[in-house]
A and B are shown apart, each in its own frame.
Chain A
C-alpha cells in the first residue's frame, strides 16, 4: 500500500506538472475543453435550441448567460488522478488499459452532467451555482473517480499470496474460474 501511494503521488505530481506546461495547454487541455463544450452543447440542443458553444464557452442566446469551462471544471485533473491511481496500482497492463478507457469515459460522462447542470443552475440562481460549482461538484467528481477506481480494483485478478505453495497441477478436472 505504501509503494502504491508513493508511486501514485509521484505520477500525480508529474502528470499535473506536465498539464501545466504551455505545450500541454495548447495541444491537449484547450482542445479537450473545447470538445467538452461541444459535446455538452450537442446534448443540450436536444431540448434547448438557443444554446451554442464557441471554444470553451457555452452560452444561451435566450438568456444571454454564458459559462466558460476553466481548469478544474474540464475534468482533466480528475482524469489525471484516475490515471495515476490505475497506473500506480499493481495490475496486468491489459486490465490497466481497459480500466483507463472505461474509467475516463465514466469520469468525463459525469463531467458533462456537471457542465450542463452548472449551465442551467447559473441561469436559475447565482448563489446555488457558486455553491455547486465551487464545492459540491468538485467533491462529486472526485467521488466518481474513487468509485471508478474501486470498481476497477474489484475486477482485477486476485494476486497470488506470497508464501503460499503453488496450486497443484490440474488432473483432468476443470479449473475454477
Chain B
C-alpha cells in the first residue's frame, strides 16, 4: 500500500463500536462454552502443573469451570472433597469489546487482527479463572480448608493481588491493549484526523 490513508472521524468510529456491541455481546454469551474453552484448557493445565496436589479434576459445564480439589471440607463430611466453581464470563467480557472495536475500525486484515487478539486474550482470561480458583480455596474458604492448601501468608497476599488484578484490571484492559497493538495504523489516522 502507498499514499496517505483517509483520516478517521472518531465520533463515527465510536458510534460503530456502540452499534456492534449488542451483537458481539450476544454472540459471546451464546457461544461462551466454545469461546472460553481454550482459556479453560489453559487454566486447567496451569492448575494441574502448579497445583497438582490440590486439583483432582477440572470440568467445564457451559461457561462454568468446576475445580474438583483434593481438599476435605471438614471432619463432618466423610469422603467429601471441596469443589470450586469459576464463572468464566466474569473474566472474558472484554472479548466482545475487542471484537466490536475491531469490526468498527474496518481495517483491512481484520480477521487476522481478531485471531491475534483472541490468542492474546486467552492467557488473560485464564489468569482470572486461575486466580479466582486460588482465591476461593486459600482466602474465601473456611480456616480448616484454607490450612490444607499450605499457602504461606505471603503467597496468600500474592493470590489476593493476582485475583484483584485478574478481575478488576485485566478483563477490561487486556482487550484495549490488544486492540491498540493490532490497530496502530488506524490510531495514526485517528491522530491525523485532528490536524
Complex: A172 Cα to B10 Cα, angstroms: 36
The CA-CA distance from A143 to B179 in the complex, in Å, is 11
* Chain A nearest CB, measured from B17 CB (Å): 7
B81 interface contact, C-beta 8 A: no
Q: Is the CB–CB distance between B169 and A16 below 8 Å? A: yes
A139 x B190 contact (CB < 8 A): no
Q: Quick check: B164 and A71 within 8 Å, CB to CB? A: yes
Residues of chain A lying within 8 A (CB to CB) of residue B191: 153-154, 156
Q: Is B93 an interface residue (CB 8 A)?
A: yes
B94 in the interface (beta carbon within 8 A)? yes
**Which B residues between 161 and 195 are near A, CB-CB below 8 angstroms?**
161, 164-165, 167-169, 171-173, 175-177, 179, 181, 184, 187, 190-191, 193-195
> Which B134-181 residues sit within 8 Å CB-CB of chain A?
160-161, 164-165, 167-169, 171-173, 175-177, 179, 181
Tell me the nearest residue of chain A to B17, going by C-beta.
A143
Contacts of A16 in B (CB 8 A): 164-165, 168-169
Asked if A17 CB lies within 8 Å of chain B CBs, one says yes
Find out whether the CB atom of B164 lies under 8 angstroms from the CB atom of A142. no
- The distance in angstroms between the C-alpha atoms of A136 and B21, with both chains bound, is 9
Residues of chain A with a CB closer than 8 A to B195's CB: 158
Given A20-B164, A134-B90, A138-B93: A155 in contact with B169 (beta carbons within 8 A) = no
Interface of B is mostly: helix
A59 to chain B minimum Cβ distance, whole angstroms, is 25
Among B14, B89, B168, B194, the most chain A Cβ lie within 10 Å of the Cβ of: B168
Number of A-B residue pairs at CB separation under 8 A? 77
8 Å CB contact of A150 from B10, B94, B97: B10
CB distance from B110 to the nearest CB of A (A): 18
CB interface residues, A 7-22, toward B, < 8 Å: 12-13, 16-17, 20
Q: Judge whether A28 is part of the interface by a CB distance below 8 angstroms.
A: no
Q: Please report the C-alpha to C-alpha distance between residue A81 and residue B94 in the assembled complex, in whole angstroms.
A: 15
Q: Which residues of A contact B10 (CB under 8 A)?
A: 147, 150-151, 154
Whether, in the assembled complex, A5 has its beta carbon less than 8 Å from a beta carbon of chain B, the answer is yes
B25 in contact (CB, < 8 A): yes
The reply to whether A142 and B194 contact each other, CB–CB distance below 8 Å, is: no
- What class of interface size applies to chain B in its complex with A? 20 to 34
A154 with B169: in contact, given A135-B93, A142-B97, A147-B10 (CB under 8 Å)? no
CB distance A153 to B190 under 8 Å? yes
B96 near A: Cβ within 8 Å? yes
29 contacts across the A-B interface (CB closer than 8 A): A5-B177, A5-B181, A12-B169, A16-B165, A17-B161, A20-B161, A71-B168, A72-B167, A81-B169, A81-B173, A81-B176, A134-B90, A135-B89, A136-B25, A138-B93, A138-B172, A139-B21, A139-B93, A139-B172, A141-B172, A142-B172, A142-B176, A143-B17, A143-B97, A147-B10, A150-B190, A153-B187, A153-B190, A156-B191
Task: Give 7 closest A-B pairs by Cβ, nearest first.
Answer: A142-B172, A154-B194, A135-B93, A139-B97, A77-B168, A72-B168, A146-B176
- Interface residue ranges, A against B (CB under 8 Å): 1, 5, 12-13, 16-17, 20, 71-72, 77-78, 80-81, 134-136, 138-143, 145-147, 150-151, 153-156, 158
Additional pairs, 16, CB under 8 Å, beyond known A141-B172, A142-B94, A146-B179: A12-B169, A20-B160, A71-B168, A77-B168, A81-B176, A134-B90, A135-B89, A136-B25, A136-B93, A138-B171, A139-B96, A145-B176, A147-B14, A150-B10, A154-B191, A155-B194
